[in-house]
Chains A and B, each alone.
Chain A
């Protein structure tokens, strides 16, 4: 009899770490996803605290047409490599920002609520991106091979240059966060006091928004725009369960993102023909689930038990008091 799990080809592809890291492509996949996870996790903490997790989804989906327009501009007008990470980032930043502004404008000017406005903006930009994608694949543009990977990523396509760009751009965004730590914190926690003390809201918001956009677009090649939001949203939610300080949360979130991504990448390669991004997303979710269940102060299990006991005690008390009327 054939074991049921044989299709995963666990045994045939399982490899020891030495074998794994001696392979250049595997090494690139591992390092690339670790950097992406670390940067997105750390920067995602502030998005979580400002309750702007959804905006990262908007940026992610709206980045698609930007990256594709950048590709088109590069190959048709400038005759350069349209797949360079830097060009992709620039295009993605532009349309990602436009989509976020578009959503905010709809919410501010009309009676459409912000969640609806975000969904409208996100799907509209994404729909336009899908049309562009079809246009590119149907026409003979140089270097278009594999461009549909922008959607769901292809970790095996990470080059050394991509890794260098990711580290440089990620370090820049993390540097912004460290330098403006005090301003980011106050604006997230108490926007009124922040403005009163003379910190210009527009400056801080622009800086914070820039870091979130970078956190999203950094992962496009390896993970794709669609799943990248999980890298920004899930690690902070998990980290928040374990720590009560902001530095602790940002560091832990980065750690969870980095380690979870590295582990997920290793797992996806060991398992054989399994896409890396989705495996990492599931690993991150497993970490979140564990955090929600097991964290000493915020565990949902312990909270539910405590509440049940308290209710039972209260019920006893109320019954023993008897009806007063």
Chain B
């Protein structure tokens, strides 16, 4: 056990979809200031873990706390970047309008965003290099630009803890580099980042902590000592993707 305070943790979290267990007894602990990668095969429950912790899916057992408190008390300190596939890209909204949505939480019911909110949104777009695309409809963006637009929305919210569901899915090298720069900045400021990640080979490029998940936690902790061949093999139960990676890694 570490003595670092935890940004979030789940205790004995179990989730059932209909009568199919998706997560079993998950004790997930994210030290403050860490960049935690959640890795596991398809259907391992990675997105479900995030959703259950955030109260979007009702767990069968267990609960989660954020900065030692229930989510409802600290929701403004937690940001979220959705999986690209779950977004309706044809929705009639522009990049700047998307970024402004990051201010909705603090505005609360009914109050509308004004000039100050738009200025903050614009500043966040500049941080992710998206200022020139502010008036584009979101569907007109490339994969990388889309993710940078959503990252800007999360930045506007200025949370202490970020959840990102496959942020590097389907993006170009330049966008990935731009996003990693922003993540490093956030990390340097002491923010905590939890990333659901698919691509095994690049996990340790930007994550200092790793959790291997396959319905239960296989291993979780500091990167190199957790992300071992044995643990990976156990998490993936010798699936093809992992075998190829392991073979390449030697």
Contacts and interface: CB of A to CB of B under 8 A. Distances in A.
Say whether A and B bind each other: yes
Contact of B87 (A190, A196, A198, A245): A190
A246 interface: yes
Interface in B67-117: 72, 75, 78, 80, 82, 86-88, 91-94, 97, 101, 104-105, 107-113
Interface string A161-202: 000000000000000000111110110111011011111000
A197 B54 CA distance: 10
A156 interface: no
Nearest to A49: B91
A235 to B, nearest CB: 14
A244 B92 contact: yes
A248 B92 contact: yes
Nearest to A298: B90
B83 to A, nearest CB: 10
A199 B109 contact: yes
Interface string A28-55: 0000000000000000000001000000
Given A190-B87, A195-B56, A182 B112 contact: yes
A190 B101 contact: yes
B205 to A, nearest CB: 27
Interface of A is mostly: helix
A178 B51 CA distance: 30
A240 interface: yes
A311 B108 CA distance: 49
A189 B99 CA distance: 13
B137 interface: yes
Given A186-B101, A197-B105, A198-B105, A243 B82 contact: no
Q: Interface centre among A181, A186, A193, by most B CB within 10 Å?
A: A193
Contacts of B88: 49, 189
A249 interface: yes
Q: Interface centre among A180, A192, A195, A240, by most B CB within 10 Å?
A: A192
A192 B165 CA distance: 12
A188 to B, nearest CB: 7
Interface residues on A, range: 20 to 34
Given A190-B82, A244-B137, A196 B75 contact: yes
Contacts of B108: 198
Contacts of B55: 195
Contacts of A244: 92, 94, 137
B47 to A, nearest CB: 10
A186 B108 CA distance: 12
Nearest to A244: B137
A196 B81 CA distance: 11
29 contacts: A49-B88, A49-B91, A49-B92, A179-B110, A182-B104, A182-B110, A182-B111, A182-B113, A185-B101, A189-B88, A189-B91, A189-B101, A190-B87, A190-B101, A192-B80, A192-B86, A193-B82, A193-B101, A195-B55, A195-B56, A196-B54, A196-B105, A197-B104, A198-B72, A199-B109, A243-B92, A245-B92, A246-B93, A246-B97
Given A49-B91, A182-B112, A245-B97, 20 more contacts: A49-B88, A49-B92, A182-B104, A182-B110, A182-B113, A185-B101, A186-B101, A189-B91, A189-B101, A193-B82, A193-B101, A195-B55, A196-B80, A197-B75, A197-B104, A198-B75, A243-B92, A244-B92, A246-B92, A246-B93
Which 5 residue pairs of A and B lie closest in terms of their CB atoms, listed nearest first?
A: A197-B105, A244-B137, A249-B92, A189-B91, A246-B92
Interface of A: 49, 179-183, 185-186, 188-190, 192-193, 195-199, 240, 243-246, 248-249
